[in-house]
């Protein structure tokens, strides 16, 4: 796969690429299960087993969603022996969740 030479991309195209990538990020947040997983991880890292228990879901379903979240750069894994622990990738993920929830609550109270 060829790398894109960013020096050759004009500012308007960079803006469009950034907006496209933002829309792809929001698609990941559009799934209720993934938002529940991210919300659970705001309390700290968890393994698949603990996430599945907390969300009352099967481990395979949680693992599938974690793969999507990992590919999107929203969670990161940490291996300890045979167990993999997941956490939010960085504080931005938590900020996105908080801002979205704040907006939802604000709109609900405003109605």
d(CA 49, CA 22): 31
Write the pLDDT tens digit of every residue in 30-59.
999 999 999 999 999 999 999 999 999 999
Is 107's pLDDT higher than 70?
A: yes
Contact 69, 28 (CB under 8 A): yes
Q: Return the residue matching tokens 């481990």.
A: 59
Is 2's pLDDT higher than 60?
A: no
| Interval 8-29 mean pLDDT | 89
| Interval 64-70 mean pLDDT | 98
State whether residue 86 is helix, strand or coil. Answer: strand
Is 80's pLDDT higher than 50?
A: yes
Give me the domains of the chain, ranges plus CATH numbers: 10-110 (1.10.10.10)
Q: How confident is the model at residue 1 (pLDDT cuts 50, 70, 90)?
A: very low
Q: Of 58, 74, 61, which Cα lies nearest the Cα of 24?
A: 74
Is 60's pLDDT higher than 90?
A: yes
Q: Of 55, 58, 60, which Cα lies nearest the Cα of 32?
A: 55
Is 4's pLDDT higher than 80?
A: no
């Amino acid at each position: 796969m060829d790398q894109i030479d960013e020096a050759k991309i004009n500012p308007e195209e960079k803006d469009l690429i950034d907006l496209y990538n933002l829309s792809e990020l929001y698609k990941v947040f559009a799934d209720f299960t993934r938002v529940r997983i991210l919300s659970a991880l705001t309390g700290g890292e968890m393994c698949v087993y603990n996430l599945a228990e907390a969300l009352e879901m099967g481990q395979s379903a949680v693992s599938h969603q974690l793969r999507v979240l990992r590919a999107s750069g929203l969670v990161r894994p940490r291996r300890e022996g045979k167990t993999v622990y997941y956490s939010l990738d960085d504080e931005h993920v938590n900020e996105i969740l908080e801002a979205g929830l704040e907006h939802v609550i604000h709109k609900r109270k405003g109605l």
